[in-house]
Amino acid sequence: MKSPSTLQIALGVSLAVHAVLLTVRFVDPERFNRIFQDTPLEVILVNAKSSERPDQAKAIAQASLAGGGEAEKGRATSPLPPSALTELGDASEDAQRKVETMQEQQTMLLAQIKKQLAAMPPPDPKVASADPAQTEREEKRKQLIKILAEIERRINEENARPKKRYISPATREEVYAVYYDTLRRKIEEKGTVNFPEMAGKKLYGELTMILTVNHDGRVLSTEVAETSGNLTLDRRAQSIARSTGPFARFSEAMRRKADQIVVVSRFRFTRDETLETRLTER
């Protein structure tokens, strides 16, 4: 077999190099870097893919996925269902129900353990300690006593904490609604009579405040959750809320479920020089 000549080898190498060059795409390096600087993409994992490519990528994933999800805008940053607003009242009521359910379960478990301990025969000193049955029984007794002590500790800690009730538009109990209405009217009257001003000029604006009231009617704390943009107005609003107290004592129906109430309210100092408040979501 005749070996290829030098010219043939050179032609073959040239064809191979040109073929490789044809597959390479040259771009402006500055433009390439600018794309990554101006449009940073987050790396995520997706559990589905589609044949349709997205018009504008929102993130880097291991597969193309156009559309999908329940959020109308943007992309969810949590595995929980999307929600534009979480109503504080609903959330707190759900949490309160969970706490009450947990307390009921702990109480039931406490009763069961006490029943098991009462049913167990007392230790018999006459029986040899090497007896396997007695050793197993005593080990079980120790475990039950340890669990019993832990449950009692948790219950005592929970009982020592003040029970809070969050008042919001989602609050359904009439006793809380009536109490809040009285509280609201007193604060509005106080704020209208003592309308905030600085250097002889009235201060107008809106802010959201979290007001915590104790069962004896004392105002325990005020917190500005959303500022009006004017710190002086924020402080005057807090002063108005604090000085309006003390409010009425909680009724027996309220005390059964709460030692304190937390009110999330929108304060609006209007151009009519009146204070308007309304319940809101945090």
Mean pLDDT of 252-268: 91
d(C-alpha 40, C-alpha 58), whole Å: 9
Query: What residue segments make up the domains of the chain, in order of their start?
Result: 6-60, 88-160, 164-279
Query: Distance between CA atoms of 259 and 164, rounded to whole angstroms?
Result: 6
Bridge-based pairing state of the strands 42-43 and 201-202: unpaired
In this predicted structure, the answer to whether residue 192 has a pLDDT above a threshold of 90 is yes
Lowest mean pLDDT among 53-57, 75-79, 186-190: 75-79
CATH code reported for the domain at 164-279:
3.30.1150
* Residue (of 91, 131, 138) closest to 117 by Cα position: 138
Task: Look at residue 191 in the predicted model and tell me its pLDDT.
Answer: 96
Q: Which of 41-45, 128-132, 176-180 has the lowest mean pLDDT?
A: 41-45
pLDDT digits (tens, 9 = 90+) for 124-153: 666 656 677 777 888 888 888 888 788 777
Angle, helices 231-244 vs 174-193, to 10°: value is 120
Mean predicted confidence (pLDDT) in 204-227 = 95
Which two three-digit tokens encode residue 225?
């959750």
Q: What is the pTM of this model?
A: 0.51
Nearest alpha carbon to residue 279 among 165, 175, 164, 167? 167
34 vs 174 pLDDT, higher one: 174
